[in-house]
Amino acid sequence: MRMLEEARGGNKEKSYKMLIVRSDLLEVSFEHIVDKDPALLRGDLLLQFKHEEATGPGVLREWFFLSLYLQDLDKMLDGSGTAISVDDWKAHTNYNYTKKMIIKYLCFGR
């Protein structure tokens, strides 16, 4: 416990409060901490989601894991459960039609 107090730099009494909007989690979180003194952020971090009553360490833990989840692009795109099939991709991508449309547009206008 003493090491924790030393890591906080004697900032045991102070806490920093954040009100977070779930729909803008990363943006609002960044706005809260970007210009703050690092010594202030070493104290207790009290977090609350807007329009929710819950507070405490569980909310802080949820915020932390939501932030990690948003940074994992693979999870955001529903994972890599299926491999990408180049043949399937080519079958659904008609470049010849696109080339014809570009030539038609450049030569004859709309």
Q: Flag whether 99 is in a domain.
A: no
Contact (CB, 8 A) for 80 and 73: no
CA distances from 7 to 2, 4, 10, 44, 60 (A): 9, 5, 8, 12, 19
pLDDT at 100: 66
pLDDT at 52: 86
Q: Flag whether 32 is in a domain.
A: yes
Q: Flag whether 62 is in a domain.
A: yes
Please, what's the b/e burial string for 71-93 (b: 16 or more CB within 10 A of its CB; e: otherwise)? eeeeeeeeeeeeeeeeeeeeeee
- Which residue's structure tokens are 């009290």? 46
pLDDT at 37: 82
pLDDT at 47: 84
Q: Flag whether 29 is in a domain.
A: yes
pLDDT at 98: 62
pLDDT at 2: 47
Q: Flag whether 85 is in a domain.
A: no
Q: Flag whether 74 is in a domain.
A: yes
Spans in the chain with pLDDT lower than 70: 1-13, 71-105, 107-110
Q: Flag whether 87 is in a domain.
A: no
Q: How many structural domains are present in the chain?
A: 1
Contact (CB, 8 A) for 25 and 70: yes
What gap in Å lies between CA 16 and CA 44, rounded to an integer?
A: 6
The mean predicted confidence, pLDDT, of the chain is 72
pLDDT at 93: 65
Q: What is the pLDDT of residues 67-92, one digit of tens each?
A: 877 766 666 555 555 666 666 666 66
pLDDT at 35: 83
pLDDT at 66: 84
CATH at 31: 3.90.1750.10
Backbone φ and ψ for 45, nearest 5 degrees, come out as -105, 110
Write out the residue range of the structural domain in which residue 44 sits. 2-79
Q: Flag whether 84 is in a domain.
A: no
